[in-house]
């Protein structure tokens, strides 16, 4: 194989590695608070470190992905990617051995896999990076590649710092019209959310938008816009009861552990219009007015 072909193959491997890093970082940057919770769940580092580590990993993956895309200092980039993946494998294996991990946060919400799958996938990335490292020994970056790298740093920094505020809930969480939520495990309800047309709002305490939206839910019930209006609170029966006493709803209020409901939102409230458990419309971070619900039917 000639040097030219070696460099080309190395660049293709760099793009593959960059794709893994960017997709993973994008998903985590969309909900850094959830990623911090996943880091804490591993119990490898103190919980107080989790927010800083979350943003640090997101930034590292995006910057490394930018370096691989621009193919600047490729052998260094491949080597850093190998070190990063080895670190992920080590943390995952340690947490798995101690029973402190069920699902990996490597891809945020996009892919939920067990620790065995994570280790296998990271090992494949390491193998590809080792091949790329060997083939890139004659690669030399041109000025244009460094310019591209510098340009890619701008969105990388912006996504790291402001990804959680971007209106990308549907992309990050993976819920859109047609998604089936019938298996959402909500307790304390008189009937299931998969029975007919249901307006389901996930609300919580210390949530001003939830407080502002509750009168809209009551009005939707009063005006008989949909057959059923339901609220769900993160926590247990006691949390749901406190919410009922505070807001005196004219609709049933269920509950589920926060770790269960957390997969359906980034910030509260979130409201789903369901038809036999299937999503017809989603209102992220707010409760819709009755007229909005009517127009969505």
Tens-place pLDDT, residues 85-137: 999 888 888 877 776 555 555 555 555 566 777 788 889 999 999 999 999 98
d(CA 250, CA 43): 42
pLDDT band at 27 (very low <50, low <70, confident <90, very high): confident
Residue 58 has pLDDT above 70, yes or no: yes
Question: What does the mean pLDDT of the chain come to?
Answer: 90
pLDDT band at 286 (very low <50, low <70, confident <90, very high): very high
In the beta sheet, which residues pair with residue 272?
A: 200, 282
Please name the residues in contact with 24: beta carbons below 8 A apart, sequence gap of 6 or more.
Answer: 61, 106, 107, 108, 110
d(CA 78, CA 125): 10
User: Do you find a cis peptide bond into 296, omega within 30 degrees of 0?
Assistant: no
Residue 203 has pLDDT above 50, yes or no: yes
pLDDT of residue 109: 56
The whole-angstrom distance between residue 255's C-alpha and the CA centroid of its chain comes to 22
pLDDT of residue 3: 62
Residue 251 has pLDDT above 80, yes or no: yes
Mean pLDDT of 189-193: 91
> Residues 35, 167: contact at Cβ < 8 Å?
no
Residue 232 has pLDDT above 90, yes or no: yes
pLDDT of residue 111: 52
> Residues 242, 265: contact at Cβ < 8 Å?
no
pLDDT tens digits, one per residue of 204-228:
999 999 999 999 999 999 999 999 9
Mean pLDDT of 272-278: 96
pLDDT of residue 48: 93
pLDDT of residue 1: 41
> Residues 2, 59: contact at Cβ < 8 Å?
no
Between 92 and 46, residue with greater pLDDT: 46
Helix pair angle (143-162, 3-30), 10° resolution: 20
Between 44 and 106, residue with greater pLDDT: 44
Long-range pairs for 88-91 at CB < 8 Å and ≥24 separation? 88/118, 88/122, 89/118, 89/119, 89/122, 89/123, 89/126, 91/42, 91/44
Q: Which two tokens stand for residue 41?
A: 């769940």
Mean pLDDT of 267-285: 96
d(CA 210, CA 85): 40
pLDDT of residue 2: 47
Q: Number of C-alpha atoms within 13 angstroms, CB side, residue 144? A: 0
Domain ranges of the chain: 3-166, 197-296
In the beta sheet, which residues pair with residue 255?
A: 187, 233
d(CA 66, CA 76): 13
pLDDT of residue 91: 84
pLDDT of residue 79: 97
User: HEC states along the chain?
Assistant: CCHHHHHHHHHHHHHHHHHHHHHHHHHHHHCHHHHHHHHHHHCCCCHHHHHHHHHHHHHHHHHHHHHHHHCCCHHHHHHHHHHHHHHHHHHHHHHHHCCCCCCCCCCCCCCCCCHHHHHHHHHHHHHHHHHHHHHHHHCCCCHHHHHHHHHHHHHHHHHHHHHHHCCCHHHHHCCCCCCECCCCCCECCCCCCCCCEEEEEECCCCCHHHHHHHHHHHHHHHCCCCCEEEEEEECCHHHHHHHHHHHCCCCCEEEECHHHHHHHCCCCCEEEEEECCEEEEEEECCCCCHHHHHHHC
d(CA 114, CA 166): 28
CATH for the 197-296 domain, from 3.30.720.200, 2.170.190.11, 3.40.800.10, 3.40.30.10:
3.40.30.10
pLDDT of residue 32: 92
């Amino acid at each position: 194989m000639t040097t030219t072909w070696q460099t080309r193959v190395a660049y293709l491997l760099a793009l593959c590695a960059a794709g893994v890093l960017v997709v993973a970082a994008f998903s985590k940057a969309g909900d850094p608070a959830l990623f911090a919770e996943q880091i804490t769940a591993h119990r490898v580092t103190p919980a107080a470190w989790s927010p800083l580590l979350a943003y640090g990993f997101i930034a590292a993956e995006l910057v490394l992905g930018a370096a691989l895309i621009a193919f600047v200092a490729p052998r260094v980039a491949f080597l850093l990617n190998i070190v990063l993946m080895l670190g992920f494998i080590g943390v995952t294996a340690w947490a798995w051995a101690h029973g402190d991990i069920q699902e990996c946060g490597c891809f945020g919400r996009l892919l939920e896999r067990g620790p065995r799958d994570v280790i296998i996938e990271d090992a494949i990335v390491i193998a590809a990076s080792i091949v790329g490292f060997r083939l890139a020994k004659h690669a030399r970056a041109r000025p244009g590649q460094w310019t591209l790298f510098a340009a890619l740093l701008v969105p990388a920094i912006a996504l790291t710092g402001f990804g959680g505020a971007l209106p990308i809930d549907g992309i990050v969480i993976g819920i859109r019209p047609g998604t089936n939520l019938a298996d959402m495990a909500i307790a304390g309800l008189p009937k299931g959310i998969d029975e007919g047309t249901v307006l389901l709002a996930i609300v919580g305490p210390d949530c001003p938008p939830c407080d502002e939206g509750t009168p809209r839910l009551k009005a939707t019930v009063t005006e008989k816009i949909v057959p059923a209006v339901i609220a769900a609170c993160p926590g247990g029966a006691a949390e749901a009861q406190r919410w009922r006493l505070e807001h005196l709803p004219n609709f049933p209020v269920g509950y589920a552990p926060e770790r269960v409901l957390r997969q359906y939102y980034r910030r509260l409230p979130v409201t789903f219009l369901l038809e036999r458990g299937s999503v017809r419309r989603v209102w992220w971070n707010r409760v819709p007015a009755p007229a909005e619900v009517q127009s969505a039917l």
